[in-house]
Chain A
Amino acid sequence: GNSVTQMEGPVTLSEEAFLTINCTYTATGYPSLFWYVQYPGEGLQLLLKATKADDKGSNKGFEATYRKETTSFHLEKGSVQVSDSAVYFCALPDYGGATNKLIFGTGTLLAVQP
């Protein structure tokens, strides 16, 4: 089945620093790719997604480009804020019969210090 490997954390940055969280995948075909975020005390929510190769997903200043050549979907932000502190999960669907379940990476904890 499909799988995803995500950069281990924690990642600790100062406010306004540049952020990269690496994500690589193994998949049959070109499935959609997702980044989910979990803020402290909250449930997971979709941050951004890309549905085909070379697409760029973006939201709240975060970006990720679907790169089939390197099978990667790295998350980037040019200037992080304290409010970005959260756990970030890379994900893709795993097709098994009729199931479309999401497979998640292990999550990367981001801590942004003022």
Chain B
Amino acid sequence: GAGVSQSPSNKVTEKGKDVELRCDPISGHTALYWYRQSLGQGLEFLIYFQGNSAPDKSGLPSDRFSAERTGGSVSTLTIQRTQQEDSAVYLCASSLFPRGEDTIYFGEGSWLTVV
């Protein structure tokens, strides 16, 4: 696609429910990232996928968070038993290669509100 596409753009869910957030990266990009942006916390790295390598999950805040990337393309971030502190904007990004100088392109984010 022309850019990184995320869905849903907005999600309101009740505490304790599970949510899935979807990311469709730029076609041909091998690296895919999830970040979280919340008030007072800045941009927080969550997880990184590169090709067929094992993902870097070092940023996931708890075992309620998981992500997968199917076929080296679309990714889904799943939050189980959501809590109010999970309310944030979840940003997906992709880059052509995982080199330090490569530009990372961001989607517009999925705004999650847990009530």
Contact = CB atoms under 8 A, between A and B. Distances in A.
Interface in A74-114: 89, 93, 95-107
B37 to A, nearest CB: 9
Interface stretch (B14-22, B75-83, B106-114): B106-114
Interface in B46-100: 48, 50, 53, 56, 58-59, 91, 93, 95, 98-100
A43 B42 contact: no
Contacts, number: 61
Given A100-B98, A103-B45, A46 B56 contact: no
Given A36-B106, A103-B45, A104-B43, 17 more contacts: A34-B103, A43-B91, A45-B106, A46-B105, A51-B101, A93-B100, A98-B50, A98-B56, A98-B98, A99-B48, A99-B98, A100-B48, A100-B100, A100-B102, A101-B33, A101-B59, A104-B42
Interface of A: 31-32, 34, 36, 42-46, 49, 51, 89, 93, 95-107
